């Protein structure tokens, strides 16, 4: 069995969604809380954790966009703020109730049945860790038990993940943009999703406490589409190019990260893109990444043009007396390159990307 097939099999064994048949064994509750935040996250998360009770009956999983520096102090900061234990889990850590699991730098935080995955999968929406992979994996593994929460932040990461949670019968919560230090991420979530609760930050902890004790009714169960499982397997590097056709249609664009082809994926009215190596983009993050690629290309072109002009002038010095016709040609070409360099500088300074 190949390594990829082994990874896929392990995921299938531990990540099947819990459907109505499970309720015959034991009652289910909205006790899997997935939280995403970006700019302003530390302050918002500290305030949220501080108001969660010590007997909180669910498990919380937090992804915030962070620097890849491995010296993150987020778990310690949140542990000091509230009564619940806070950990940065290792891969395959078993899930316990009444605990907060926080993403690690440069690693995605994903959920399987009864355990946490911490993986260095492809970046999504220009981030690793990213919010959408956590939300998507939680939706597939736990269905209506999931509560997805979007807090303050820039960009639109988490909007597609909330759509996945809602489509699998979960509950969606967004911080009221008016109470967010950076409202863009909550506004994007509201724009693209049917949100169950849009409330100020200080009302989120009491809501989560109530939902964690609220039994799930039979009508809350929904059928998760199989492509969610496929995408989670891309996040764990367990899929390859042969699966792309099941996700969407081939687009005319290429991946800014690896230059591979991009496929268009449609989640409700949310249009996304994913390449066969797993990089994924919202429309906004793709635009930003393309702009970065254009600027890098302009600087690369400017460097090459200036180097060639300099080389032509140096060659001309040695051939001035012996080959005057060559010198004249080289100097003319150098002046033309100078004009091209000036144009490139103007394009860079104008921010035309």
Q: How far apart are the first and last CA of the chain?
A: 46
Q: How many whole angstroms separate alpha carbon 262 and alpha carbon 287?
A: 13
Q: How many whole angstroms separate alpha carbon 5 and alpha carbon 338?
A: 55
Q: Which CATH superfamily is domain 3-220 in?
A: Methylesterase CheB, C-terminal domain (3.40.50.180)
Using CA of residue 213, residue 217, residue 220, residue 224, what is the dihedral sign?
A: positive
SS (H, E, C) the chain: CCHHHHHHHHHHHHCCCCCHHHHHCCCCECCEEEEEECCCHHHHHHHHHHCCCCCCCCEEEEEECCCCCCCCCHHHHHHHHCCCCEECCCCCEECCCCCEEECCCCCEEEEECCEEEEECCCCECCECCCHHHHHHHHHHHHHHHEEEEECCCCCCCCHHHHHHHHHCCCEEEEECHHHCCCCHHHHHHHHHCCCCEEECHHHHHHHHHHHHCCECCHHHCCCCCHHHHHHHHHHCCCCCHHHHHHCCEEEEEECCCCCCEEEEEEECCEEEEEECCCCEEEHHHHHHHHHHHHHHHHHHHHHHHHHHHHHHHHHHHHCCCCCHHHHHHHHHHHHHHHHHHHHHHHHHHHCCC
Supply the pLDDT for residue 25. 55
Q: What is the domain partition of the chain in residue ranges?
A: 3-220, 240-278, 286-350
Q: Which residues are catalytic?
A: 38, 65, 157
**Inter-residue contact 265 to 278 (CB < 8 Å):** no
Residues in the chain: 353
Note down pLDDT in tens along the chain; length 353 residues.
443 444 444 344 444 454 444 444 578 999 999 999 999 999 999 999 999 999 999 999 999 998 887 778 999 999 999 999 999 999 999 999 999 999 999 999 999 999 999 999 999 999 999 999 999 999 999 999 999 999 999 999 999 999 999 999 999 999 999 999 999 999 999 999 999 999 999 999 999 999 999 999 876 777 788 889 889 988 887 776 676 888 889 999 999 988 899 999 999 889 999 998 889 999 999 999 999 889 999 999 999 999 999 999 998 887 766 777 788 899 999 999 999 999 999 999 987 55
**Inter-residue contact 105 to 72 (CB < 8 Å):** yes
pTM of this prediction? 0.84
């Amino acid at each position: 069995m190949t390594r990829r097939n082994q990874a896929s099999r392990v995921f299938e064994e531990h990540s099947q969604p819990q459907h109505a048949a499970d309720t015959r064994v034991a009652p289910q509750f909205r006790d899997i809380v997935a939280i995403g935040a970006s700019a302003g996250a530390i302050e918002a998360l500290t305030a949220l954790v501080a108001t969660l009770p010590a007997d909180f009956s669910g498990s919380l999983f937090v992804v915030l966009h962070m620097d890849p520096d491995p010296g993150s102090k987020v778990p310690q900061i949140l542990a000091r703020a509230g009564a619940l234990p806070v950990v940065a889990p290792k891969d395959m850590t078993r899930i316990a109730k009444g605990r907060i699991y926080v993403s690690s730098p440069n690693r995605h935080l994903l959920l399987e049945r009864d355990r946490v995955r911490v993986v260095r999968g492809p970046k999504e929406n220009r981030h690793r860790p990213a919010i959408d992979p956590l939300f998507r994996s939680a939706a597939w593994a736990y269905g209506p038990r999931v509560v997805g929460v979007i807090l303050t932040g820039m960009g639109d990461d988490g909007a597609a993940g909330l759509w996945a949670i809602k489509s699998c019968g979960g509950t969606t919560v967004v911080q009221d943009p008016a109470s967010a230090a950076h409202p863009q991420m909550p506004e994007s979530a509201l724009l693209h999703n049917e949100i169950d609760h849009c409330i100020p930050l200080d009302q989120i902890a009491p809501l989560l406490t109530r939902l964690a004790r609220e039994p799930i009714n039979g009508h809350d169960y929904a059928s998760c589409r199989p492509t969610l499982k496929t995408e989670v397997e891309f996040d764990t590097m367990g899929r390859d190019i042969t699966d792309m056709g099941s996700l969407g249609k081939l687009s005319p664009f290429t991946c800014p990260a690896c230059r591979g082809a991009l496929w268009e994926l449609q989640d409700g009215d949310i249009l996304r893109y994913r390449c066969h190596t797993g990089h994924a983009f919202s429309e906004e993050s793709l635009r930003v990444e393309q702009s970065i690629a254009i600027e890098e290309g302009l600087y690369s072109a400017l460097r090459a043009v200036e180097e060639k002009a300099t080389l032509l002038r140096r060659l001309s010095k040695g051939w001035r007396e012996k080959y005057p016709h060559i010198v004249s040609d080289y100097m003319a070409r150098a002046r033309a390159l100078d004009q091209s360099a000036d144009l490139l500088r103007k394009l860079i300074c104008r921010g035309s990307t």
